Amino acid sequence: MSNKEDFNWDNFETKGFGEGYSKEQKAQMEAMYAGTLNEITEKEVIKGVVVGVNDKDVIINIGFKSDGLVPLSEFRDVAGIKPGDEVEVFIEEQENALGQLILSRKKAKIVRAWQDIESALENDSVIEGLVKRRTKGGLIVDIYGVEAFLPGSQIDVKPIRDFDIYVGKKMEVKVVKINHANDNVVVSHKVLIEKDLEKQKAEILNNLEKGQVLEGVIKNMTNFGVFIDLGGVDGLLHITDISWGRINHPEEVLQLDQKVQIVVLDFDDDKKRISLGMKQLTAHPWDSLASNLEVGSKVRGKIVNVADYGAFLELAPGVEGLIHVSEMSWSQHLRNPADFVKVGDEIDAVVLTLDKDERKMSLGIKQLTEDPWTKNDMGTKYAVGTKHKGVVRNLTNFGLFLELEEGIDGLVHVSDLSWTKKIKHPSEFVKVGDELEVAVLELDVENRRLALGHKQLEENPWDTFENVFPVGSVHKCTVVSKNDKGAVLELPYGLEGFATIKNLEKEDGSQVEAGESEDFKVTEFSKDDKRIVLSHTAMFKEEAKPAKKEAKKKSDTGSASTTSAPAEKSTLGDLDALTQLKEQMEGKK
């Protein structure tokens, strides 16, 4: 038997493959078969056809010399995968250790997704994505299986306060940025809206005119007003144009994202600042006031503002009247309006003036009670000489105002506070809020004037002083203060006297200085002016004692003057003692 190497395969004939084919024919057939197989490259995406499905894998023909396997788990998103279905797969390996072609549908989807994302960025095309969840600063949107970031500022043209409402919903977006270094994609929904708004904005601005009524959405609130989106164009609705009534903040009557009807009040030349109004769409409340409202009418309302000069009473939203502080009480002493009313109080008032054309009204609350100057029998109750007690309400340079009762004030002049003390300002004697007893000095009901005095509650001690300090009498005095003109002296009983510079000269030629106590002789006494003038020099200079003879003459005629030591050294204590002295001296006469 011959060796196999000698075997002529070309001449061998059988009923198998190649039977009856010549060498040229077999070469031709091999070439045709090779043409039906794809030249494939690893790590690329290619289309294939499902040729079989078992429990673990899906068998796919990609036109290669062998079929590839893809795990069935990668087709969980496809319902009922079956032979004949066309799918895209990623070539992992042409031939593994077992000689198998390894494919991946999962990787194919990722590669295809990034290709589509890059194409969308390049072509500025719109992609529909699914909002998967909220994240810091925005939302995560699934596009082609890739998680993209949608910043909060790119969701809408208006500020978004609640991101959660978008989760689980589909949303059209555009790719605005791709960062290949960390596979990060940024998308925007706002750019889609802005394009539509540009046309809408141009149309609104072209047709914008004063008095035009529009519908808008409140997009932002401040303490001075609200910004309203008119459809790509923003306008400001000032707080004073929201309501005819008084409001402290827009949130009292409006809320974010609310649709509102507004009217265009004004705008600048380039229509960048648009002023809107809401209250102008309703009639002014003054126009619907009751026709029988007139001066003298009694009204009721709520205090909406309290100022230094008065308070505003709101009768209806947009209808207010001023209650001046002088119309809150019959008292002539002006007090703080906050002493009578506070914001939120509901009170009655009387209409004092009314101008419907100017929409102005003044009100009063003291008119709800009777005027104390007319309800009282003033001529009897406050007759001259009657004594009363009141509260110090105000101090001035010339005196103080004393409230005897609500609405009845009187003036106590500074000169009527004390018989003996020289009071320059009433604050030296009393303070606001003190109680003070007084006597009525004058009453003028017609002009509502009441003159009061405090010192008149006691007898005038100067009637007694006239006998204690006659001209020529000598008294021990202390120099309280001294200036170029003279010195103020402290006399007994708390009185003050005066001595000129030349009358301060001592016998040795020196001067009596402040703080020193010396004997002084009275040279002048005026009960009406409450003035006592004295001299130390007159104690030893005869020419300075012209009053001595006069005093002696008065003594001869029965005058009660004396230069004796007892008069000089007398200490009478208080005013009652002075009165007793006066009575004793008059008894001696």
DSSP string, 112-179: HHHHHHHHHHHHT-EEEEEEEEEETTEEEEEETTEEEEEEGGGT-SSPPS-GGGGTT-EEEEEEEEEE
CA distance 177 to 151: 12
Question: Which among 589, 581, 584 is positioned nearest to 465, based on CA atoms?
Answer: 581
> How many residues does this entry show for the chain?
589
Sorting pLDDT into bands at 50, 70 and 90, what band is 550? very low
Enter the tokens of residue 12. 């061998």
What residues are paired with 48 via a beta bridge?
87
Are the CB atoms for 472 and 563 separated by under 8 Å?
Answer: yes
Q: How many CB atoms lie within 10 A of CB 541?
A: 13
Q: pLDDT higher for 442 or 9?
A: 442
φ/ψ of 494, rounded to 5, equals: 80, 10
Q: Residue 277 — pLDDT band, cuts 50, 70, 90?
A: very high
Q: Which two tokens stand for residue 494?
A: 């708390």
* Residues β-bridged to residue 306: 311
Q: Which comes out higher in pLDDT, residue 282 or 93?
A: 282
Per residue in 500-509, pLDDT tens?
Answer: 999 998 888 8
Contact 430, 392 (CB under 8 A): yes
- CA-nearest of 322, 493, 366, 513 to 419 is 493
**Any idea which residue has 């429990």 for tokens?**
55
- Identify the pLDDT of residue 182: 74
Report the distance separating Cα 170 and Cα 159, nearest Å: 20
Task: Point out the least confidently predicted range of 76-80, 229-233, 270-274, 576-580.
Answer: 576-580
Average pLDDT over residues 200-220: 83
Instruction: Give the confidence band of 557 by pLDDT, cuts at 50, 70, 90.
Output: very low
* Direct distance between the N- and C-terminal alpha carbons of the chain, in angstroms, rounded to an integer: 197
Contact 63, 36 (CB under 8 A): yes
Mean pLDDT of the chain: 78
> Can you tell me which residue has the tokens 């009453």?
443
C-alpha distance from residue 459 to each of 131, 289, 303, 346, 456 (Å)? 99, 63, 51, 52, 7
- What string of H, E and C letters represents the secondary structure of 163-193? HHHHCCCEEEEEEEEEECCCCEEEEECHHHH
* Nearest partner of 315 among 283, 350, 266, judged by Cα: 350
Range 131-156 average pLDDT: 86
Q: How confident is the model at residue 498 (pLDDT cuts 50, 70, 90)?
A: very high
pLDDT score, position 448: 83
The tens digit of pLDDT for each residue in 231-262 reads 778 889 999 899 888 888 999 889 988 999 99
**Alpha carbon distance 437, 416 (integer Å):** 12
Phi, psi (degrees; rounded to nearest 5) at 241: -105, 10
Asked if residues 492 and 532 have their Cβ atoms less than 8 Å apart, the reply is no
pLDDT tier for residue 556 given thresholds of 50, 70 and 90: very low
Greatest mean pLDDT among 14-23, 62-71, 369-378, 521-530 lies in: 521-530
363, pLDDT greater than 90: yes
Percentage of residues of the chain with pLDDT beyond 90: 20
CA distance 119 to 108: 16
CB distance 569 to 492 below 8 Å: no
Cα 100 off chain centre by: 78
Once rounded to an integer, what is the mean pLDDT over residues 483-494? 87
pTM over 0.95: no
Q: Shortest CA distance to 492 belongs to which of 454, 534, 555?
A: 534
Q: Which two tokens stand for residue 379?
A: 């001529």
Identify the bridge partners of residue 173 per DSSP, sorted by sequence position: 127
What 3-state class would DSSP assign to 19?
coil
For residue range 279-309, list pLDDT tens digits in order: 888 888 887 777 778 888 899 999 999 998 9
CB-CB contact of 243 with 253 (8 Å):
yes
Alpha-carbon span 95 to 42, nearest angstrom: 10
User: Residue 45 above 60 pLDDT?
Assistant: yes
Is residue 571 over pLDDT 50? no
- Of 356, 347, 283, 352, the C-alpha closest to 314 is 347
pLDDT of residue 552: 44
Residue 155, helix vs strand vs coil: coil
SS3 465: helix
Q: What is the CA radius of gyration of the chain?
A: 56
- What the chain holds in terms of domains, given with CATH numbers, is 45-109 (2.40.50.140), 124-193 (2.40.50.140), 208-281 (2.40.50.140), 301-368 (2.40.50.140), 393-457 (2.40.50.140), 462-581 (2.40.50.140)
Return the pLDDT at 97: 58
Q: Does the pLDDT at position 564 exceed 80?
A: no
Residue 533 has pLDDT above 90, yes or no: yes
Give every CB contact of residue 290 below 8 A, 6+ residues apart in sequence. none
CB–CB of 402/410 below 8 Å? Answer: yes
> What phi and psi, each to the nearest 5 degrees, are found at residue 155?
-80, -45
Contacts of 483 (CB under 8 A, 6+ apart): none
pLDDT value, residue 311? 93
